[in-house]
Amino acid sequence: MAIVILVLLVAVIASLGHALTSMASGPARSQRMARALTVRISLSVALFAFLLVGYHFGWIQPHGVH
């Protein structure tokens, strides 16, 4: 479970980095940047849904800060 969460987080960060490099390359790559940001949003929504499903089925147990 933790590996899937980490992989999704790394993918979100990688997509954000790809969008940054596309943005820094100039306006000619704006389509690429938009696609990378769309992928990032999709991955973030998938991660959120995965966390909700994991909590619902008991795969993820919350813990309080002590």
The three-state (H, E, C) secondary structure of the chain, written as one string: CHHHHHHHHHHHHHHHHHHHHHHHCCHHHHHHHHHHHHHHHHHHHHHHHHHHHHHHCCCCCCCCCC
Q: In this model, does residue 63 exceed pLDDT 90? A: no
Q: How confident is the model at residue 53 (pLDDT cuts 50, 70, 90)?
A: very high
Provide mean pLDDT across the span 39-50: 93
pLDDT for 52 equals 93
Q: How confident is the model at residue 29 (pLDDT cuts 50, 70, 90)?
A: confident
